[in-house]
Structure formats: structure tokens, C-alpha cells
């Protein structure tokens, strides 16, 4: 199933759980289809209901009650899981971290009288070498689960920053609460997959990371963790490690990668994070960024009004417009202010 959370145009204050049907042209309102079923009220309640709840949702999709079918263009999709219990952004694509460190060194070197020589000096210093722990362990940082956005939401650069950037990722949503998960059973704990955009205020992030305490407000601001457009249940995506990932800005492709380049798997993360502690149904584990999956990696910058689309095979397109007050639309990095 391709599960969504949405509001109807005539009831914008009432969230419903739904399933995309007919090549995503229609939405089955699962909440309206079975109003007496507590499992079909929200995405979290469906996740908590386990296999039985999913079976009842599939039954409703097969029945397709006419009263609960609405055209896709008559609703507004929200983040499929509007309030995750936790979000961890993991370093599953290790190659991206190495490329990001090189670009960080290049930016710092740009301020020197001889940028090329300074870049070589910085790289030779070892300060921008990738720590071997990235290969040995599943590293992560905890995102603000209260700062979630969804499809078509506008993303505004936070106060004190001028550079907003996308990060091309996807994520696994956990379906079981557990502890000390055996590797052979790890995949059973994944409810489904969604597209994830780890919006980042690069200038603020870089300044704060020089303190050694992490990205701080450079990653955590209103709407900084975008999810969508749906959660595809794991049975519909039998091989999540054979997918193409694409980022477009104003319709122009900027980034492309594949999930087969992950150093660690989501199953590795499930096992690692459950060792001696609990993982919970409704948690989101993001992959980290695919190589070349940011404007920062490419030496480009988003402009005010740019439209960013992240697409992952089998899941869909997560589309947002950026707002950078004082910025300018179009320019050499894009093709205008984007589409509405």
C-alpha cells in the first residue's frame, strides 16, 4: 500500500489516513471507510496495530467503498507521519560524508589568498579525513521530530542564515517496538519507506560545527525534516537497495544516485540501535545523503523561490519551494522561480 496523511479541501483542520489508488490519481479515505476502526484513524495508530491493522486497511482498499474515494487533487497531502516518535538521520551512505568534508575544506580555503594551496594544506592536515568509525558503525544524529514538513510545504531559511540546501535521502519507518533484534529478523521491523529531505542552512551549520558540538540550528528549524509524499509498505518495495534517487531544481536534474551504494543497510541500523535499548514503532531512520545529493556537494546554491523535487523509485516525488528572504529567483543555478 501507498499510505498518506491528508486533509480535505472542505475540512482543512481534520487529518485523515488514506491510501493512494489508481496510479495515485485517487485517495481512499481509510478513516471514513471504517470510522469504527481505531487502527485506521492515523498513521501512527495503523503502525501500532501491526499486521492485523494492515490487513484491515488492505481489505478496505480491495472493497473501495465509493463514499470514501476522493480525487487526489481534492486533498492536500501532509507529511505521512506528521509527528514521528523519533527521527535519526544515519550515515548509511558513507561516501557522501567524505565528499562533504572535501567541500567544507574547499569553502574554508576560498577565504585564503591562495585558495588552491590552502585547500591542499587543509586536506593534508588530516582534519578533513573521514573518521574510520563511519565504516565500522551506524552513526547518526537525532533530528527534531517536531520540525516536520510535507509535500508542497514552503521551506524558509531560519533566522541568521542565507543559504538553504536540500539533502537527497530516503527513510525507513519502523513498525515494531523491540530490543536486541536478531539480524535475521531485522527487516520484519520495517513498516515501510518514504522520501526524506534533510533541509540544511549551510552557512549556519558550518559556523556552528566549528564549535565541535554538531550542526544545531543549521539542521533544526521549522519544517527542516521533510517526509513524503507517502509511506510505501515494505511488502510493496521488496528490494529497497535497488532504487534510483533523483533531485531536480525547477525541473532541472541536479543530483542522481542509487541506493545500492549504501555502506550500511536499514537492517544494520535496526540491529545496532536496538542493542541493549529499545527501538519503537513509528520511529524514522533516514539513510543519510546519497553522494552528490546536495547543492553543497555540487558547488551550487538554491535561490529564493526555487522548487526542489526529490524522487525515489517506487515511492514518489517530494516537492517543496524554498524561501530565502532577500534572495533572488533564477540565476545560473536554476531556471527561474520554479512552478506553482
Q: Do 287 and 186 share a structural domain?
A: yes
Provide the domain count of the chain. Answer: 2
Shared domain check, 313 and 172: yes
What confidence tens digit (pLDDT) does each residue in 62-77 have?
999 999 999 999 999 9
Which cell is 301 given? 546554491
End residue of a domain, out of 77, 102, 130: 77
What grid cell was written down for 296?
Answer: 553543497
**Spatial CA neighbour of 195 closest among 170, 166, 168:** 170
Q: pLDDT digit string (tens) for 214-232?
A: 667 888 899 999 999 999 9
| Spatial CA neighbour of 202 closest among 127, 115, 95, 301 | 301
Cα distance between the two ends of the chain: 28
- Report yes or no on whether pTM surpasses 0.75: yes
The neighbour count for residue 52, using CB atoms within 10 Å, is 9
* Torsion angle (degrees, nearest 10) of CA 202, 283, 141, 108: -20
Domain shared by 61 and 201, yes or no:
no
Distance CA 307, CA 187 (A): 34
* Domain of 22, in residue numbers: 2-77
Q: Which residue has the higher pLDDT, 119 or 16?
A: 16
d(CA 293, CA 15): 32
Is the residue at 332 inside a domain?
A: no
Q: Judge whether 329 lies within some domain.
A: no
335 pLDDT tier (thresholds 50, 70, 90): very low
Angle at 233 between CA 229 and CA 236, to 5 degrees: 105
Interatomic CA distance for residues 229 and 297, integer angstroms:
25
Q: What CATH code is carried by the domain that includes residue 17?
A: 2.30.30.230
In a domain, 114, yes or no: no
The reply to whether 165 and 301 lie within a common domain is yes
Residue 97: strand, helix, or coil: helix
CATH number of the CATH domain containing 212: 3.90.850.10
Does residue 339 carry a pLDDT above 60?
A: no
Is residue 86 within 8 Å of residue 142, measured between CB atoms? Answer: yes
20 lies in the same domain as 146: no
Whether 328 is in a domain gets the answer no
Judgement on whether residues 37 and 145 belong to the same structural domain of the protein:
no
For 119, the 3-state DSSP assignment is helix
Q: Give phi and psi for 54, each to the nearest 5.
A: -65, -40
- In a shared domain, residues 145 and 262: yes
Is pLDDT of 98 > 50? yes
60 by DSSP, 3-state: which? helix
**pLDDT band for position 340 (50/70/90)?**
very low
- Do 173 and 62 share a domain, yes or no? no
DSSP-derived 3-state class of residue 121: helix
The pLDDT value recorded for residue 126 is: 82
Amino acid at each position: 500500500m501507498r499510505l498518506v496523511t491528508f486533509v480535505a479541501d472542505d475540512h482543512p483542520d481534520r487529518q485523515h489516513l488514506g491510501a493512494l489508488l489508481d496510479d495515485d490519481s485517487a485517495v481512499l479515505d481509510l478513516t471514513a471507510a471504517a470510522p469504527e476502526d481505531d487502527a485506521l484513524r492515523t498513521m501512527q495508530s495503523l503502525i501500532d496495530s501491526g499486521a492485523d491493522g494492515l490487513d484491515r486497511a488492505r481489505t478496505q482498499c480491495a472493497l473501495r467503498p465509493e463514499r470514501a474515494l476522493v480525487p487526489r487533487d481534492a486533498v492536500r497531502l501532509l507529511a505521512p507521519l506528521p509527528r514521528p516518535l523519533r527521527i535519526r538521520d544515519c550515515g548509511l551512505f558513507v561516501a557522501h560524508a567524505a565528499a562533504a568534508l572535501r567541500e567544507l575544506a574547499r569553502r574554508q580555503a576560498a577565504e585564503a589568498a591562495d585558495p588552491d594551496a590552502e585547500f591542499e594544506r587543509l586536506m593534508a592536515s588530516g582534519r578533513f579525513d573521514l573518521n574510520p568509525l563511519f565504516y565500522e558503525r551506524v552513526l547518526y544524529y537525532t533530528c527534531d521530530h517536531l520540525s516536520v514538513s510535507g509535500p508542497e510545504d514552503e521551506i524558509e531559511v531560519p533566522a541568521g542564515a542565507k543559504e538553504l540546501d536540500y539533502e537527497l535521502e530516503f527513510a525507513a519507518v519502523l513498525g515494531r517496538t523491540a530490543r536486541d533484534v536478531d539480524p535475521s529478523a531485522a527487516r520484519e521491523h520495517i513498516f515501510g519507506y518514504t522520501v526524506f529531505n534533510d533541509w540544511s542552512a549551510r552557512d549556519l551549520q558550518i559556523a556552528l560545527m566549528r564549535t565541535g558540538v554538531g550542526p544545531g540550528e543549521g539542521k533544526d528549524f521549522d519544517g527542516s525534516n521533510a517526509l513524503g509524499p507517502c509511506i510505501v509498505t515494505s511488502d510493496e518495495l521488496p528490494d529497497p537497495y535497488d532504487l534510483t534517487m533523483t533531485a531536480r531544481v525547477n525541473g532541472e536534474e541536479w543530483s542522481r544516485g542509487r541506493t545500492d551504494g549504501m555502506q550500511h543497510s536499514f537492517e544494520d541500523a535496526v540491529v545496532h540501535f536496538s542493542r541493549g535499548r529499545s527501538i519503537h514503532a513509528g520511529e524514522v531512520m533516514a539513510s543519510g545523503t546519497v553522494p552528490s545529493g546536495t547543492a553543497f556537494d555540487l558547488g551550487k546554491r538554491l535561490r529564493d523561490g526555487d522548487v526542489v523535487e526529490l524522487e525515489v523509485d517506487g515511492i514518489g516525488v517530494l516537492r517543496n519551494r524554498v524561501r530565502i528572504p532577500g534572495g533572488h529567483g533564477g540565476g545560473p543555478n536554476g531556471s527561474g522561480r520554479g512552478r506553482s
